[in-house]
Chain A
Amino acid sequence: MNKDLKFLVVDDFSTMRRIVKNVLQELGYSRIEEADDGKTALPMLQAGNFDFLITDWNMPGMQGIDLLRAVRADGSLAKLPVLMLTAEAKREQIVEAAQAGVNGYVIKPFTAATLKEKLDKIFETLGMSG
């Protein structure tokens, strides 16, 4: 398992960022940074050698779906694994995220086991060692 992977956790609620960060730490990851919306996250991603993006959808400023599209449109970030972690539960939204190139979609409220399972699945699909 590669515990050196660098994560960016994007959510406008600091409580949720803390929860995700703690779950990742319990899974053994220690390189975790945070951003409170897409607008803050994008320059961090462009500058920061991140290996994985976990983002909310509903945020002021730049929403998660727009961040996902911006990542996919950016040559240097296009292949970054993106997991959406959101309360947005409409079928058309999930399809929209899939079409925009999301690698995983976890609905809030979630369990630590679900988050781990989805991360592992993405690592496996992309041939990464998580």
Chain B
Amino acid sequence: MSKETASQAIDASRYDAELAELVAAWNARDERRFVAQLDALAATHDHMLLKNVGELTRGIETALERFCVDARVEDLSRKEVPDARVSLEHVLKLTDEAAHRTMDLVEQSHVPAESILQGVNHVLPNWQQWREGELSEEQRVALLGEMSGFLAAAHENAERIRANLSEVLLAQGYQDLSGQIIRSVMNLIDEIQEALAGMVALSRGQEVIYRAREPVPNGACGPQVPGVAKGQAVGGQDEVDLLLSGLNL
């Protein structure tokens, strides 16, 4: 403010000097000097006017920048930060569920794996004896029966283990889903950082470098998060199929 007052004072003294010169020319009836002084006075006036317009423009620009930053900061603080928190809670839930699902499947696989091992341990001594020709005919028939039972059980147990391993694999899909959510929160943090830097710059009367983010092209918005509105979404594969069958796909 003190700078503005000083510049006004300087301009007032310029008017004083030029008016005094104009009056002196008028009193001396010096027409040439009077007209020249009149032009000089008009030029000073134009200069002052431009300067005021310049100051006004700068004021509007600052107000607009402040408005942009303020509006964005408000949007960030009222909606996007709370949404990000809900999204991160959802990531916690996804990772928790995936870890438990994986461990459940591993634990469930111990049973058939143990059963195969026990079966092997059970038939192995007799199998060894048979190879060494130490089994009677009666024992040999019993071994064949045991072997049939063992092979059938081993087949079933191996199928169970294989199915569990496939499920373990699919359970790792959480990394993609939670990764997409975390990435969007990271983008939000970048934007908050820029908005905060913009506010600090404004408060110091510096130029603002904050720019509003471009929306993501083609509307990709990542996984649906319960409690965070992201447009009208389907509830699962059945709804996708229903929607597509309506479109003849």
Contact = CB atoms under 8 A, between A and B. Distances in A.
Interface of A: 11, 13, 15-16, 18-19, 22-23, 26, 57-58, 63, 65-66, 87-96, 98, 102-112, 114
Q: In the complex, which range does the number of interface residues on chain B fall in?
A: 20 to 34
B176 A111 contact: no
B219 A90 contact: yes
Contact of B240 (A13, A23, A107): A107
A108 B224 CA distance: 10
A63 B177 contact: no
A109 B173 contact: yes
B233 A15 contact: no
Given A19-B169, A107-B237, A109-B174, A93 B243 contact: no
B224 A87 contact: yes
A95 B242 CA distance: 12
20 contacts: A13-B175, A15-B172, A15-B176, A19-B173, A63-B218, A65-B218, A87-B176, A87-B180, A87-B223, A88-B220, A90-B233, A92-B231, A98-B249, A105-B249, A107-B234, A108-B176, A109-B177, A110-B170, A112-B166, A114-B237
Q: Which of B166, B173, B176 has the most CB of A within 10 A?
A: B176
A3 to B, nearest CB: 18
A93 B243 CA distance: 11
Contact of A91 (B174, B177, B218, B234): B234
